[in-house]
Amino acid sequence: MTSIEVVVCTPRYVLLDENRRVGPKVIPSDVGVGCSVIYGFSDKGPYDRFCVNSDLALRPYPLVAGYLRNQVGVSSGDLKLVVIDAVGPRERCLHAATMEAVLEAQENRAAGVNTGYRLILDPKADAYLVEEAPVCR
């Protein structure tokens, strides 16, 4: 079995609301694993598009390796993801990579990063379900 990998441009920016990194609201996992998610953007065009579709007063900020290293280094057992180049805060399906994969892509100056997760909007909960990328059989 192999997973379906989606390769997206390596994110270089996040959006801040005040001093807080912005991310989608996620539904807690049934298996008790926490999940923290931020939006990441590869360039000005994608984050400008997101800002047009958001009611928040957001500003771009570099997604720095130090922040990612700190997040990856915290051994909380939580899943830490970066949603990459979302069009807006209510997009039906989002692709995400682990913070570790994004850090590795940045350190290797890779143009792209593999996403291993997707987030599916649950309109009733007004939040996202996090799931591993589907598997091909």
Look up tokens 């649950």; give the residue: 122
pLDDT digits (tens, 9 = 90+) for 62-118: 999 999 999 988 767 789 999 999 999 999 999 999 999 999 999 999 999 999 999
Lowest mean pLDDT among 1-10, 20-29, 85-94: 1-10
pTM confidence score? 0.89
Report percent pLDDT > 90 for the chain. Answer: 72
How far is the C-alpha of 71 from the C-alpha of 88, rounded, in Å? 24
**pLDDT at 2 (0 to 100):** 47
pLDDT at 5 over 70: no
**pLDDT at 1 (0 to 100):** 40
Task: Tabulate helix, strand, coil % of the chain (nearest 5).
Answer: 20, 40, 40
pLDDT at 137 over 50: no
**pLDDT at 111 (0 to 100):** 93
